[in-house]
Amino acid sequence: MSKIIAIIPARYDSSRLPGKVLEKIGDKTMLNLVWDQVKKTEMVEEVIIATDDERIMGEAEYFGGQSEMTFSSHRSGTDRCAQVASQFWESDIIINIQADEPFIDPEIIDMLGKKMIEDDWIEIATLCTRIKDRNEVSDPNTVKIVKDNFNKALYFSRAPIPYFRDSVGSIENQYRHIGIYAFRNKSLQSITKLSESFLEKAEKLEQLRWMENGYKIHVFETEYKGTGIDTPVDLEKARQNQ
């Protein structure tokens, strides 16, 4: 039976908030909070922090987390995950957990894991949630997604999709992408060997590279909204809500 491994790619040099995973929210660092949430899952058998920074490895050691050093040349967290995952079986399931989601719901991680176990033909799976705030539709930092009737992604974009020609501003059936992925390890190793694609360059969304090369991404809906921290303002809000 496939083993489920959660990998948390964590780098120090974030462009908008350097060192953010080591920032404290309450009495714990953001990285520690993510680790604690993932450890609450029922289906994940092993959790590993993938980093290229000694400071992050030191923090992981401090709170008892398992970590592995990866190449500093990786372009994305997906590449970092793939390096760590290469030591596991091709059939194993790898769940990529963002290191800046300190309040991630363990239930959505288990949901993805369960879907991958039940449907062993799924190569890649991710999550979405319905947009309820009209401002998110036009916000390029909010990645939108459209899917088909079989829950496969048709496209991801920073632009409003679909465009409602006859009712501009509608948020009916608009979905926001939640940035957590589950991969069949064989597929994870393959997609990281692909060259950067045209759509990926245009939107700055790596999942478009996978789709342009024929990979299907299954998308499951959740009520979870996500709490990613990208800016000092986000960090302060998280501290206030702690």
* pLDDT above 80 for 1: no
Least confident of 1-5, 110-114, 143-147: 1-5
Q: Please state the rounded mean pLDDT for residues 150-159.
A: 97
pLDDT in tens, 204-216: 999 999 999 999 9
* pLDDT above 90 for 47: yes
The CA distance from 209 to 187, in Å, is 13
Under DSSP, the state recorded for 75 is: S
Under DSSP, the state recorded for 177 is: E
* Mean of the per-residue pLDDT values of the chain: 94
pLDDT in tens, 122-139: 999 999 999 999 889 989
As to burial, measured by CB atoms within 10 angstroms (0-12 exposed, 13-18 middle, 19+ buried), residue 35 is buried
Residue with tokens 């190793």: 189
Per the CB < 8 A criterion, the answer to whether 22 and 29 are in contact is yes
For residue 174, how many C-alpha atoms fall within 13 Å in the half-sphere facing its CB?
25
pLDDT of residue 16: 77
As to burial, measured by CB atoms within 10 angstroms (0-12 exposed, 13-18 middle, 19+ buried), residue 17 is middle
pLDDT of residue 14: 80
- What domains does the chain contain, in order, with CATH numbers? 4-224 (3.90.550.10)
Per the CB < 8 A criterion, the answer to whether 81 and 9 are in contact is yes
pLDDT in tens, 94-131: 999 999 999 999 999 999 999 999 999 999 999 999 99
The two tokens of residue 64 are 């008892």
pLDDT of residue 166: 80
Phi-psi region of 214 (alpha: psi -120 to 50; beta: other; left: phi over 0): left
Q: Please state the rounded mean pLDDT for residues 55-61.
A: 97
pLDDT in tens, 168-190: 667 778 999 999 999 999 999 99
